[in-house]
Amino acid sequence: AQSVSQHNHHVILSEAASLELGCNYSYGGTVNLFWYVQYPGQHLQLLLKYFSGDPLVKGIKGFEAEFIKSKFSFNLRKPSVQWSDTAEYFCAVTSSGAGSYQLTFGKGTKLSVIP
Amino acid sequence: ETGVTQSPTHLIKTRGQQVTLRCSSQSGHNTVSWYQQALGQGPQFIFQYYREEENGRGNFPPRFSGLQFPNYSSELNVNALELDDSALYLCASSWGERETQYFGPGTRLLVL
């Protein structure tokens, strides 16, 4: 069974600081990887996704993530965070094999950005 | 383009009761997946419906059941509610069973 581990439960940063949120997954086959964000009071929104090709993926609002297959990792980065990035961030994986329709989520990382 | 909608937004039930949650998929999407998100946890997959057939199920008991209608909207039914069923229930739709899923706002269920 696949699983996703997010290393940080709560991250607190000042505005303009750089962000990196860790995500590791366990699955031996081909995977599709996602980062979703949940802003306070809003529903889960897709930030970015990786299916194949360039392992450096750019998403909305200046976020990017790098897929490192050898490390089973898909870390999320942003060079300079803003107060409006305060939210909960979820890494998720689905595999490309048969029966691979379900998203498996990590427990989430809460990001608080201090003005 | 209309996004994923869910109803009701909040619901309070007592233990042993039954509940039905509803989801309208995003325009053009034929697949609906349901997730349960307990407080402080990531969403957990309940099941998926693709063209009105259940297309996969997570580790949830049979008292969690669902339907998908010809217009691709969906219902999640939970029988014999337990206190641990208190959670945010999320619906996600996609164009195809393995495509990117887009989430609705969720229904928050409280079981007393």
Per-residue pLDDT tens for B27-75?
889 999 999 999 989 999 999 998 889 888 899 999 999 999 999 999 9
Asked if B41's CB is within 8 angstroms of A45's CB, the reply is no
Chain A residues 47-106 with CB within 8 Å of chain B: 49, 90, 92, 94, 96, 99-106
Looking at residue B100, what is its pLDDT? 86
Looking at residue A4, what is its pLDDT? 95
Looking at residue A27, what is its pLDDT? 81
Mean per-residue pLDDT, B73-79 = 97
Provide CB contacts within 8 A for B98, sequence distance 6+: A32, A94, A96, A100, A101
pLDDT tier for residue A2 given thresholds of 50, 70 and 90: confident
Is the model's pLDDT at A11 over the cut of 70?
yes
Q: C-alpha angle with apex B65: A92 to B43, nearest 5 degrees?
A: 20
- Tell me if chain B has a CB within 8 Å of the CB of A27: no
Give me the percent of chain A exceeding a pLDDT of 90: 77
Other CB atoms within 10 Å distance of the CB of residue A96:
13
